[in-house]
Chains A and B, each alone.
Chain A
């Protein structure tokens, strides 16, 4: 059975949008994020909040294996009006519940040099935003260097981020959500080897 979404859609999604925007402006810096939601499992509360805020009828979304097949698709479609797509290359947003097994970034929309905005944004549910392999980040929005870690992530995550940076201005953006925080890894990011 369908569950309700935000109690106060306008104000709640504005608050989440503000948090995501600040996370995007300071790559790799987790911002606290809470929401009062009861999304269908295995979609996390914070991932649901981000999805409800960003999805609309013009943004096809893709779900990974863990999320597809359950009630998640119906819930998101009802509350956002966004269409579900089976093809990750057509997705404006991809929601990933099993980050260790996430597909290569190349399977998602990369945008074009003329329209780099036509790329996928990956919303990734991670367990923690303070543990795991340390990455030294630099680039726009970071004064000097910033240390970032999240778990779980794929073994070759560092190499994937580096390959994504090579494509600039094309490439995907990542929004990582833990149980109580959100951090962003946009395509402008540089990772020290």
Chain B
């Protein structure tokens, strides 16, 4: 994925599985890998669906409620894993990074285990959230520094 990230918070409510996956979607592969390393020395899992890259049709609606139309195709990589402890995790990520899809699926599976959710939040998700917030603030500041207030003199009607 490109280095410039959208400067908006994930739409899902905080603390949900959806919010966790939205965060992982914006993560770098190295971040997820580091977080998982800090979380557990060795993770054993089966790749139910080895990471595979394909296309999905992105659909849009004008104004959010118009007639749906096909915007275009996006490259997506998906993966599904099962931990040896039984949890199932799956992920879809933009781009063709197989490692990212696989590691995100592992995070998804771990997140669903009651005992390990907190560790995933702390070691994997929190650093990503912090980095995104930093980048977001920086972008805002850069934009704010170049702000120009325009004003128009009212032309007299003569």
Total count of chain A residues near the partner, CB < 8 A = 11
Instruction: List residues of chain A with CB under 8 Å of any chain B CB.
Output: 1-5, 7-10, 78-79
Q: List 10 A-B contacts (CB under 8 A).
A: A1-B82, A2-B88, A4-B46, A4-B50, A5-B48, A5-B49, A8-B50, A9-B50, A78-B48, A78-B80
In the complex, A170 Cα to B16 Cα: how many Å? 52
Are B82 and A2 within 8 A (Cβ)?
yes
Q: Who on chain A is nearest to B48 by CB?
A: A4
Interface size bracket, B side: 10 to 19
Are A9 and B52 within 8 A (Cβ)?
yes
CB distance from A166 to the nearest CB of B (A): 43
In the complex, A4 Cα to B52 Cα: how many Å? 14
Say what secondary structure dominates the interface of chain B: strand
In the complex, A4 Cα to B50 Cα: how many Å? 9
Instruction: List residues of chain B with CB under 8 Å of any chain A CB.
Output: 46-50, 52, 80, 82, 86, 88
Q: Who on chain B is nearest to A7 by CB?
A: B50
Select B49's contact among A1, A4, A8, A10, beta carbons within 8 Å: A4
Chain B residues, CB < 8 A from A7: 50
In the complex, A5 Cα to B80 Cα: how many Å? 11
Chain A residues, CB < 8 A from B52: 9-10
CB distance from B86 to the nearest CB of A (A): 7
